[in-house]
Structure 1
């Protein structure tokens, strides 16, 4: 009932992969609850049941053995929150909005954020842009790496580019990040146009129709790239991940003195500045990004 009827609008603009991921998270939270408390009718869940579920998560947040990884507060909060949302949505749907939610006001305040470090420029140029390093990788994955470097985009944004989003014949070649009726993007500010420079331009010229093989398969791309980078020793530390390209892009813009508003526009971040104009022409954006673009190494392979 919840998936098919109550939460219909939450899924309406999701792609099949997004729907699968969304549903999997909800079902995981429910399965945790069933494992701990039992398979109860939703109307039978009491405050004591909810507290027992919370206490179970609290126990999991305390490491019992050396080297054991405890659950993080945001993990516990997500699963408790899913149960709270499910309960509230169900009884609201039934017209019982005044019913007390047994999961109300349950929240762990501990911080569990892990900072993702950026790749340093020298590392990118000497290691990641070294000709031949990715020659045995699928050409689409190679190109996605190069686009990530010079656009700061999220992996899912690049995987899901459609042919109409790739403007190679424009006076200033660029890509468009847009939502679709059957695919959501992270936030409204994620809607943006990004000029193509350096290795990103060459990569998109090799893939003018986008990356159909990996469309709506962003998690697979991330997993494959993580594996490829680990096998080649391309992560400077254990804290580095593919998302480090996005942080590196932002750091490079900051250190080169690019305007704050432009940086927010290109990153898809919300800005606290009043909106004056559209963030600058594509030529202006390209010229600014050329200040930080890596040189395209001779011999770098884009397509097979």
Structure 2
């Protein structure tokens, strides 16, 4: 229990500070002030936002499937939390594969939430999320596999002992990774499941108060986790972590949203063939060494 608290409490605090940093960075880029009222320099703004969502009334659509509607955000949050718990407490020889499986299950929290709302906009948002995550999950899985081949193990422990820098060897693959992590977390410019002009707010249109906050926490938890994970996988250190965290915020403040067909074509016609070529090359090099 103590180990769980040592993971959960810092994670929640990290999410709170990250949301504050996001608003401060975007305000700076757009030449605005940003949060500056609640607490010194607005530092208590995330706390007040969380309390507001906690005490707001939960509105349930009359025709929705009540149990699925209310539990699907909890499922998303628990699965995002499971990524951290597994990484720190249950590292095994199939670590990366299990991590990929847990990440794939997060899709069901969004899909069920959008479907259970019985709203055409939430359903469209859920379907968009499904096709988007399936498209980019395949690329993400191959990236995991290529990096695992570089050390000959799926266990995270060996990445911490990495004798060489994967970032220098797989720099083009790293650039693809920067694109994929945006799509996997539904962030700008790949936030099509939440496109206001087309789907109002996507799969969570009908969710409010604390159950909406769970979706919010799951998204930011995944952003921090992927930033942390790929810093370790590419450099065996946390040197890239602040760069990744800033990268999410910088992209949101500068790039417009893509068209949905462009999003899918980018995955299947551009990124997937390049990643597959990297995988074949890695397998060929390992095979030649064995022979």
TM-score by length of 1: 0.27
**Which has the larger Rg?**
1
TM-score by length of 2: 0.28
